[in-house]
Amino acid sequence: MKRYLPGWIVFCGLMILTGCGGDSSQISKSQPVFITSGAPPAGTVGVPYGDFGSGFSPTSSGGVQPYHWTWAAASGTSLPPGLSFSDLGLAGQPTAAGTYKVVITVTDSQVPPAQASSPYSISIAPMAPLAITATPPDGVAGEVYSPGECNPPPMGCGSFGYILSANGGVQPYGWSWAGAPGSTTPPGLAVVSHGRCPDNDLHSPFTTWRIACIPTTGGTYKVVITVQDSASPPNQLSANFTIKIQSLVINTSPPPSQGAIHLPYNFQFSVSYVSYAPLVWSETGALPPGLNLANDGTLSGTPTSTGSFPITVMAKDAQGNSDSYDFTIVVGEHGFKATGSMTTGRALHTATLLSTGKVLITGGQGNDQNPISAELYDPGAGTFSATGDMTTSRQWFTATLLQDGKVLIAGGYSDTALATAEIFDPASGSFSPTGNMTAVRFRHTATLLSNGKVLITGGANNDAILASAELFDPATGTFSATGSMATSREFHSATALPTGKVLVAGGDRTGNEDLEASAEVYDPATGAFSSVANMSTVRFSHSATLLATGKVLIAGGGNVTGCPAACTFNDLANAELFDPVSASFLPTGSMAIPRRDHTATLLNDGTVLVAAGGNTNMEPPDPLTSAEIFNANTGTFSETGSLLSARVNHTATLLKNGTILVTGGEEYNETPPFLATAEIYQ
């Protein structure tokens, strides 16, 4: 038995070495590791490396975590100066431009460890030179400098001031300023990076550097603005700027009115932001002969020559602050002169030329209440005198001269929409009721037909806009329904055509800025409306004038864009012509100034006088003194003498002597706003 013992010992030793009784397949084997990240990004000298300075973290798979990372320069190159590499990744701020070839190695935690390496090229671009991109604007003494949008409470106005901007270098930037030699920074202004100006709490904090606060003193200031970046060492750049702080500004709107030869002229130049009285006015250039500019800025006199006269008007206060502006005074052959005033101020009234040559003025809206009074203008005497009162007060109504010389007054508004109508008899100077309309309505139209009847279209009742139409028969004094329009309308126009038909165009169809470009024609023979081509644009409160050519001039008015999200009102300068032959609208010249609620009156020479009206796009808004003439032969508008008073919702009536009477209206910027004055265009 003993002779077998050595072999047994050898056998057991081998089993121990191989894991006695174990499975040889369980012996551990090395697992490979892989680099899975892409190439490191490029960098810029002086800028923290990586997106938003976050560096670059390589990734790997396989092997056994945790991983350990190292890098080395490839042969013939070097590591990017300023960058370092660790298990956390590649980070730092490059200090030298160039292309650097590196080998990145990952080592895992196996025994023995597995490794993987990958070569990369890292491009470091030179730092962009620091550049100031800001250009500070001028300001106005006493006004917030460069005001921006205001947040709703409780945030307040936190975005005022002018943002200083630069590029290049290393962000973030810091800013400062100082007066250039011989000058100072504008008093009251400061360069700030927070929401508080010196001695002024201006609400929410800034997120950027700005020139902000309220300048206190007018003048011209030369400043040096300096930006410093965050590079190490920092880069710094300065630039010179001139900032003008105005303590007075000559108003350029409205511009000087147009004058007319041999007619009195008066225009008052004005300024805003006067800091130190007294204010002295002067001008250079040749004034129109007969005019003189006084020290208080009043340009007045009676021009004796026509033409255009360019001048430079200057204003200067007691502290030497000044402003100047170039204007052109135009003196034309025609213009306006004052005539007698009405007995009461009125707008939204009517003016009707009677067969006697006098003009009947009725109703409207007044300074104290809606007047029921009526009055007559006598062109021979140039005066107004009272006549009998209407049976009820009215505004937004119609007045139509009938073939027998009487006047039909219909509908309107007086605390409620009206269906009532009345007749003015020039023989007795009194009003008497007639039959009621079939519907209450205001802001409608009334058009005399060739058969003597009157067509009433559209308008509004107390709740909606109307598409209905009706006829007034003077023989019976009654109204009866006729065919309805294709769409409801208010603030539209209706024009009798030479064919006896009536063109109805534009308007508002819902009362919610839902405007119309459509047009339709009423045929008295059938009592029906038929659609024609659309106008080139939607419009309301425009004018429509029958020309001697038989075409209809559609001019101005308003439209609305951006609805329903954010409605924006726009007044129009464009015009177009309706051709009854082709039943279509044709383009023509545009007016010099957008306007709505104006008047357009055919003159005896075939031209059209477009007068006053409102322009909500101007500053200050509404109303206008300007007037222009449309020449049907050339299809163009040209400016003519201006009105003596700005007016909107006024009237203009061609008199038998060929002149035009303009009455009343509103002057929104005056108190009281409703005008009693009248003037004559000649």
* pLDDT of residue 19 exceeding 50: no
**How many percent of the chain have pLDDT more than 90?**
73
HEC per residue, 590-633: CCCCCCECCEEEECCCCCEEEECCECCCCCCCCCECCEEEEECC
Which residue, 622, 627, 596, is CA-closest to 263?
627
The amino acid sitting at 678 is A
Cross-strand partners of 576: 554, 587
Residue 383's pLDDT is 98
Please tell me the predicted confidence (pLDDT) of residue 156. 39
Q: According to the model, what pLDDT value does residue 372 have?
A: 86
- In sequence order, what are the residues at sequence separation of 6 or more whose Cβ sits closer than 8 angstroms to the Cβ of residue 465? 458, 459, 488, 489, 490, 508, 509, 510, 511
Q: Which residue has the tokens 């790997």?
A: 60
Give the total residue count for the chain: 682
Residues 659, 599, 424, 409, Cα dihedral to 10°: 170
Q: What is the largest CA-CA distance in the chain?
A: 164
Alpha carbon distance 60, 70 (integer Å): 13
| Residue that the structure tokens 């409470």 belong to | 153
Q: Closest by alpha carbon to 613, among 595, 600, 630, 589?
A: 595
pLDDT recorded at residue 21: 43
pLDDT digits (tens, 9 = 90+) for 310-343: 999 999 988 778 889 999 999 999 999 999 999 9
What is the rounded distance in angstroms from the CA atom of residue 625 to the CA atom of residue 648?
9
CA distance 135 to 180: 16
Cis peptide before 233 (omega within 30 of 0): yes
Q: Do residues 242 and 221 make contact, with C-beta atoms less than 8 angstroms apart?
A: yes
| 3-class secondary structure, 672 | coil
Say how far apart CA 275 and CA 317 lie, in whole Å: 8
From 113-122, 439-448, 612-621, the region with the lowest mean pLDDT: 612-621
SS3 percent helix, strand, coil of the chain, rounded to 5, is 5, 40, 55
User: Per residue in 495-553, pLDDT tens?
Assistant: 999 999 999 999 998 766 667 899 999 999 999 999 999 999 999 999 999 999 999 99
**Apex 500 CA angle, 499 and 505, nearest 5:** 95
* pLDDT of res. 12: 34
What is the rounded average pLDDT for all residues in the chain?
Answer: 89
| pLDDT given for residue 120 in this prediction | 95
CA distance 633 to 607: 9
Token pair belonging to 127: 């730092």
State the residue for tokens 């502290």.
319
Secondary structure class of 8 (helix, strand, coil): helix
* Beta-carbon contacts of residue 30 (< 8 Å; ≥ 6 apart): 110, 112, 114
Q: What are the C-alpha distances in Å from 622 to residues 435, 567, 666?
A: 38, 19, 9
Cis before 154? omega within 30 = yes
Cβ contacts of residue 581 below 8 Å, gap of 6+?
Answer: none
Cα 8–chain centre separation: 107
CA 409 centroid distance within chain: 39
The lowest-confidence range among 429-433, 444-448, 466-470, 563-567 is 563-567
> For position 115, what pLDDT does the model report?
95
- Predicted local distance difference test score (pLDDT) of residue 117: 95
From residue 360, how far is each of 221, 356, 396, 655, 679 by CA, in Å?
Answer: 61, 10, 16, 12, 15
Domains of the chain: 42-49+63-127 (2.60.40.10), 131-246 (2.60.40.10), 249-332 (2.60.40.10)
Neighbouring-strand partners of residue 227: 175, 237
Question: Residues of 276-311 as b/e, b for ≥16 C-beta within 10 angstroms?
Answer: eeebebebeeebbebbebeeebebebebeebeebeb
Residue 10 is given by DSSP the state H
Map tokens 């038909």 to a residue.
501
| Sheet strand arrangement including 359-362 | 350-353, 359-362, 374-378, 383-387
H helix or E strand, kind and range, residue 5: helix 5-17
- Return the SS3 of 249: strand
Query: For residue 471, is pLDDT > 90?
Result: yes
Nearest Cα to Cα of residue 360 among 456, 425, 432: 425
Which of 491, 481, 328 lies closest to 396 in space, CA to CA? 491
Q: What is the pTM of this model?
A: 0.69
Phi-psi category of residue 429: left, alpha or beta, with phi > 0 → left and psi -120 to 50 → alpha:
left
* Contact present, 485 and 503 (Cβ < 8 Å): no
Give dist(CA 55, CA 5) in Å, integer.
69
pLDDT tens-digit series, residues 229-286: 888 789 999 999 999 988 888 998 888 989 999 999 999 999 987 667 889 999 999 9
- Kindly list the distances between the CA atom of residue 114 and the CA atoms of 58, 65, 75, in Å, as whole numbers in the listed order: 17, 11, 23
Backbone angles phi, psi at 17, to 5 degrees: -65, -30
State yes or no: pLDDT of 29 exceeds 80. Answer: no
Instruction: Dig out the tokens for 521 from the structure.
Output: 């024609």
Torsion of CA 643, 645, 646, 652, to 10 degrees: -60
Q: In the numeric block, which tokens belong to residue 109?
A: 């935690």
> In the prediction, which pLDDT does 404 show?
97
Per-residue pLDDT of 145-200, as tens digits, reads 887 644 333 333 445 789 899 998 888 899 999 999 999 999 999 998 865 555 44
Average pLDDT over residues 66-81: 95
State the pLDDT at residue 88.
Answer: 92
Which has the closest alpha carbon to 231: 110, 156, 366, 128?
128
- Pairing mode, strands 236-246 and 219-228: antiparallel
Report how far residue 595's alpha carbon sits from residue 613's, in angstroms, rounded to the nearest whole number.
6
Percent of the chain past pLDDT 70, that is, above it, reads: 89
The more confident residue out of 71 and 19 is 71
pLDDT at 28: 52
Instruction: Let me know: does 570 contact 542? Beta carbons within 8 Å.
Output: no
